[in-house]
Amino acid sequence: MISQNIKVAVDAVVFGYVERQLQLLLIKQKYGSEKNKWALPGGFVLDHEDLDTAVTRELKEETGITLAYLEQLYTFGAVKRDNRQRVVSIAYLGLINPKKFKLTASTDALEVGWFAIDALPPLAFDHQEIVAKGLERLQNKISYKPIGFELLNTEFPFSNIENLYQTILNKPIDRRNFRKKLMSFGILEETDKISKPESGRPAKLFRFNTKKYKALEQKGFHFEIKFA
């Protein structure tokens, strides 16, 4: 007879973007062997829950936020990844505009906050590995899915999407070709509004037309931007 004593958990790699900086949402552990260490939001899946319900609940309980964009990322099951017992974690990738939500730490979280992706504190368990996998997925996926718009305001100057891509990819892009390609899809709408930055020239604002994109996708449209 096979005997198992394995717990199932969920962890969320949630990225935000503010002022040309990619950020990661972290909580400080309140209990256990990793107390006072920073970690990804997450926890054990309850007996009556499916995975999506569990990660949504944990995010709400520990950080106070609910995500519109959340997808399964990868499964982490190294035997000694958790020093308490055998735990298999299903990680999720989430995207959010930090300006639209107020963070609230509760349940197992002592604190909650945003950290620049290039200045993270030491993380609990194997969460550094999970974060690396999440960043890799994000960097790959923005070339074939318009998920970057989840990180921006509803209306934005075109330079914001250019800066977003350069920040996530951590390299410069050909702005002229990028704009030409993105505008050729017909999924960006130019509004009649003008941004008035504290410095620099005013610029027209654009918005991403989600409805049009989904309609095009159903007809076989493939979003793709290649970067040299």
Residue 213 and residue 185: Cα distance in Å, rounded?
9
Cα 63-68-71 angle, rounded to 5 deg: 90
CA neighbours within 13 Å on the CB side: how many for 43? 23
Q: Taking the C-alpha atoms of 192, 197, 201 and 205 in order, what is their torsion angle to the nearest 10 degrees? A: -20
- Which residue of the set 71, 111, 129, 189 is catalytic? 111
| Paired strand residues for 92 | 12, 72
Q: Are 72 and 89 in contact (CB under 8 A)?
A: no
Nearest to 45 by CA among 63, 57, 34: 57
Q: Is 61 among the residues known to form the active site?
A: no
CA dist 41 → 72, 113, 123, 159, 195 (Å):
14, 11, 12, 32, 35
Q: Are 225 and 181 in contact (CB under 8 A)?
A: yes
Catalytic residues: 111
